Structure 1
Amino acid sequence: MKKKLMKSFRWSAAFLALIVLLVASGCGGSGNTDTLEAIKKRGKLVAGVKYDTKLFGLQDPATGNVEGFDIDIAKALAKKILGDETKVELKEVTSKTRIDMLKNGDIDIIIATMTITEERKQQVDFSDVYFEAGQSLLVKKGSPITGLESLNKDTKVLTVKGSTSAQNIREKAPDAVILEFENYQDAFTALKAGQGDALTTDNSILLGMQQQDPSFELVGGNFTDEPYGMAIKKGNPEFVKTVNELLKELKDSGEYNKLYEQWMGVKPE
């Protein structure tokens, strides 16, 4: 009897130890570590940003520096969390790669002209809206294309893989030929080379392209609403709260308006 009790006890102890081990590994090894605490412990914020999007995140090939509205927001967030805006590492993302990089833990946050959508909310958590944009069309000056109504089966429209712009243009202009590129600079280069008739994405991004080459212009106005949010890995409510606090502080202090006007050339509406 005593042997049976001892054997039963040993099995129970072993089972309990296994459960504890599984719970511990589930909490610590599944990538669910609190992102905000990880940033503080690391002493650095890792932000996923665009390197190819003028006004928001564009790398200077001469210096290697990346500059833009999104970059300044990332620096402000680093200052809020760590007290120093230089404690930020910028990692390049594209519309296609950014969510996977966030989920894999390669970056702490996406600050990269990312539109808030219900579909994306299933994969990530978003901050409050930090920029209001709308989708439009960029064409060569003198082009017969004046808006969505001009797009037909003979029209080639360029856009970027993994973007809401690609989805929207297929819905809005189902007859047009849609060509997708890896990033915005590749798409714009293709447009300038005559590989397409129009390029579509958010008006704010197209405005940056127009500044690069004034021989192009935006036409047809905006045909969607594109509210940008910063994306955070699910399960990090304190980090989301901190980001939203930053946005409020920037707007209340007037710093947001200064950054907006600095990069966009106009005051926010």
Structure 2
Amino acid sequence: MRARRLRAGLKGWGGVGAMAAVCALALAFVLLLPRTQPHATGDPAPGGQRTAYATRAKADTCKDSEAHNRSLSPSSADGPTLGAIRSRGYLSVGVDQNSYRWGYRNPNNSTGELEGFDIDLAHRIAKDILGDENKVQFRAIPTNERIPAIRSGRVDMVVRTMTITCDRLRQVAFSAPYFLTGQQVLAPKTSEITGYDASLAGRKVCSGTGTTAYDHLSADKKNGRLPASTDIATTVPNQLDCLVRLQLGEVDAVVTDSALAASQAAQDPAVALKGTSFTREFYGVAMKLGADDLVRRVNRTLEDYRKDGGWKESYDKWLSATLGRESSAATPPTASYR
């Protein structure tokens, strides 16, 4: 009965039926996106392998609260990875196509092109490296495939609301941070859940596989911050699938980045953010370990993107309606390099 009432009350993009259709279309796009053979992103410069080992060694001593300050300083200098990209003629970028206002296919856009804050950033990086913002090939990457896609060479980078953490720094390289966010709870407006607190006792909570949201849920169940009766077993490959589970009444709440939660609340007026963000996290552009020239070039782009107003213009276009013009997220984070 509760599930039927919830389904009746949820509107979104036409309710559950429309959302299911959107998800089906998303799967079709994933299958239809052009495939190429994995390509090399360029051999490391002399000593590059040692640099990768050094990066991992430093990551072993880092704290998650400081992980966003461990990227390389900006540079426009060429290198083997940049040379390989230019020789190929396009930048390969792993993105989301289901995150409203971040990386998504707007059903009202007849071209079917990807739109959103992360998509704008990917176009800007392509323009700075190749002189043409359209010389970019987008690949739809599920949440749990972001790191494997980078390490296997399927993509040059991932621009997909990816939080910088110490564990991830052992596996991939990150740019300086380009967005401030934090974890938050999303639940039906009528729910008695009040946030990341005791109100989650006995509740089913959904999170994305391999996300920082699940990491926090798992750790906090062990350390007692979350009630022992909170069920966190439901995980999904794509974070948006949690919203569908919520709409279907299969879970009681979702834990995800506040930036993504706000966008999902905008999609579906029957759900709302509960409580406040309970972590402080930063998104970064993820790249292959040892691709130092590419990391430095992306950091140069981010510096320019902040200074010339491109970042703010993109934020105002895509995110201000859901996150606000005066929120802490409305200002690009200040970069600090190792």
TM-score above 0.5: yes
Higher strand proportion: 1
Residues in 2 aligned to 1:31 and 1:174: alpha-carbon distance in whole angstroms? 48
- Percentage identity across paired residues of the two chains: 36
Deviation at 1:60, TM superposition (A): 3.4
- On the 8 A contact 2:193/2:200 being kept in 1, the answer is no
Residues in 1 aligned to 2:155 and 2:245: alpha-carbon distance in whole angstroms? 30
Q: Which residue of 2 aligns with 1:225?
A: 280
Residues in 2 aligned to 1:241 and 1:29: alpha-carbon distance in whole angstroms? 18
- On the 8 A contact 1:49/1:93 being kept in 2, the answer is yes
- On the 8 A contact 2:186/2:253 being kept in 1, the answer is yes
Over the residues paired in the alignment, what is the CA RMSD in angstroms? 1.8
- On the 8 A contact 2:41/2:85 being kept in 1, the answer is no
One-letter code aligned to 1:40: R
Q: Tell me the SS of whatever aligns to 1:97.
A: helix
Residues in 2 aligned to 1:107 and 1:29: alpha-carbon distance in whole angstroms? 9
Residues in 1 aligned to 2:296 and 2:42: alpha-carbon distance in whole angstroms? 20
- On the 8 A contact 1:144/1:150 being kept in 2, the answer is no
Q: Which residue of 2 aligns with 1:250?
A: 305
Q: Which runs of 5+ in 1 are unaligned?
A: 1-27
One-letter code aligned to 2:43: N
One-letter code aligned to 1:54: Y
Q: Tell me the SS of whatever aligns to 1:250.
A: helix
Q: Which residue of 1 aligns with 2:129?
A: 81
Task: Indicate yes or no: 2:164 matched with 1:116.
Answer: yes
- On the 8 A contact 2:184/2:256 being kept in 1, the answer is yes
Query: 58-67 vs 222-231, which deviates more?
Result: 58-67
Deviations 1:89-142 (A, max 9, x none): 000112210111111110000101110001110111110000101100011012
Residues in 2 aligned to 1:29 and 1:200: alpha-carbon distance in whole angstroms? 36
Match of 1:139 among 168, 181, 187: 187
Deviation at 1:231, TM superposition (A): 0.7
Q: Which residue of 2 aligns with 1:32?
A: 43
Deviations 1:44-63 (A, max 9, x none): 00000011111211123564
Q: Which residue of 1 aligns with 2:95?
A: 49
Larger Rg: 1
Select the structure with the greater relative contact order (CA < 8 A; seq sep ≥ 6).
Answer: 2
Aligned length: 242
Match of 2:241 among 167, 179, 186: 186
Residues in 2 aligned to 1:31 and 1:153: alpha-carbon distance in whole angstroms? 50
- TM-score normalized by the length of structure 1: 0.85
- TM-score normalized by the length of structure 2: 0.68
Q: Which residue of 2 aligns with 1:177?
A: 231
Q: Tell me the SS of whatever aligns to 2:175.
A: strand
Residues in 1 aligned to 2:309 and 2:256: alpha-carbon distance in whole angstroms? 28
Q: Which residue of 2 aligns with 1:261?
A: 316
Displaced runs of 4 or more, over 4 A: 28-31
Q: Which runs of 5+ in 2 are unaligned?
A: 1-38, 45-79, 221-225, 332-338
Q: Which residue of 2 aligns with 1:213?
A: 268
Residues in 1 aligned to 2:150 and 2:141: alpha-carbon distance in whole angstroms? 10
Query: 154-163 vs 166-175, which deviates more?
Result: 166-175
One-letter code aligned to 2:231: V
